[in-house]
């Protein structure tokens, strides 16, 4: 049985340099899908680059922690600092701050509408960026349900997806080992030793969903993200001949989130 996987490039739109890396990872590498941070100033630049790769699928990477919100900051006070920018992921990850359902829902819906403004249509898949909790996850799921959008999000200890009668089902190998790989940047050996369980679960019929951050670095990334060098490592690995050969040797088919609806 052919094993199917999605290799998604997160954070599309975060910066111009990063955008170029995502395009390279799709055009010259094994990235098969992407998701955009629509609130970022470089989001229009990312969309302009899609002229080079019109077949690249772009979902919405709902972002409640980096840059500035789409909503009026005064309407989402639990997410923003006095200057109107997002508080940042560190305080949420260390539980100094918690998301409120109402503010997370307001900003999630605003980002869905912003996506439509820039693309001319609504996203068909949304997912969360960085720090999340049950309140923000529920807000994302409720927004997705309201708009009729496919969503994948961890909620109350489980990875929640739409009705399997409508969408192919995913497996998302999130554990401490996977997060450690993301923090240092993925290497070809991580695939060769099957650290994501792609070969182990070859016959279970599920589609393996993998998220990486392939891109180049610029000052914006250094100023707004704790994830820096691993991004260029992801880019190098996902464009490597060795990895492309490994996928072919093991009859692994690349899909996008746009391919999930039955």
Q: For the whole prediction, is pTM greater than 0.75?
A: yes
Which CATH class name applies to 3-259? alpha beta
Q: What is the pLDDT of residue 156?
A: 77
Task: Return d(Cα 247, Cα 100) in angstroms, integer.
Answer: 42
Identify the pLDDT of residue 92.
63
**All residues at 6 or more sequence positions from 146 whose CB lies less than 8 Å from its CB, including other chains:** 109
Residue in 131, 113, 133 with CA at minimum distance from that of residue 60: 113
Q: Tell me the three state secondary structure of residue 176.
A: helix
CB atoms within 10 A of CB 54: 6
Residue with tokens 């359902």, as numbered in its chain: 101
Can you state the angle between helices 176-184 and 229-238, rounded to 10 degrees?
100
Can you give the pLDDT at residue 155? 82
Q: What is the pLDDT of residue 23?
A: 98
* Per-domain boundaries in the chain: 3-259
Report which DSSP code applies to 258: G
Taking 70 as the pLDDT cut, the residues of the chain under it are 1, 91-95, 202
Asked if 92 contacts 69 with a C-beta cutoff of 8 angstroms, the reply is no
């Amino acid at each position: 049985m052919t094993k199917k996987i999605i290799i998604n490039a997160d954070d599309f739109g975060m910066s111009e340099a990063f955008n170029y890396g995502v395009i390279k990872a799709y055009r010259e590498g094994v990235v098969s899908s992407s998701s955009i941070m629509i609130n970022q100033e470089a989001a229009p630049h990312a969309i302009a680059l899609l002229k080079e790769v019109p077949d690249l699928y772009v979902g919405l990477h709902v972002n409640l922690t980096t840059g500035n919100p789409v909503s009026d900051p005064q309407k989402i006070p639990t997410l923003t600092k006095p200057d109107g920018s997002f508080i940042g992921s560190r305080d949420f990850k260390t539980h100094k701050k918690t998301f409120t359902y109402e503010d997370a829902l307001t900003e999630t819906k605003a980002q869905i509408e912003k996506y439509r403004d820039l693309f001319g249509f609504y996203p068909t898949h949304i997912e969360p960026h960085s720090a999340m909790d049950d309140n923000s996850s529920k807000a994302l799921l409720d927004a997705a349900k309201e708009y009729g959008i496919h969503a994948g999000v961890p909620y109350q200890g489980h990875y929640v997806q739409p009705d399997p009668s409508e969408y192919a089902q995913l497996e998302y190998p999130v554990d401490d080992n996977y997060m450690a790989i993301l923090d240092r940047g993925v290497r070809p050996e991580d695939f060769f030793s099957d650290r994501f369980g792609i070969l182990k679960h070859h016959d279970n019929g599920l589609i393996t969903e993998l998220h990486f951050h392939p891109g180049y670095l610029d000052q914006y990334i250094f100023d707004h993200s704790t994830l820096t060098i691993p991004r260029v490592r992801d880019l190098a690995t996902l464009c490597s001949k060795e990895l492309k050969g490994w996928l072919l040797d093991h009859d692994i088919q690349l899909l996008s989130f746009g391919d999930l609806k039955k």
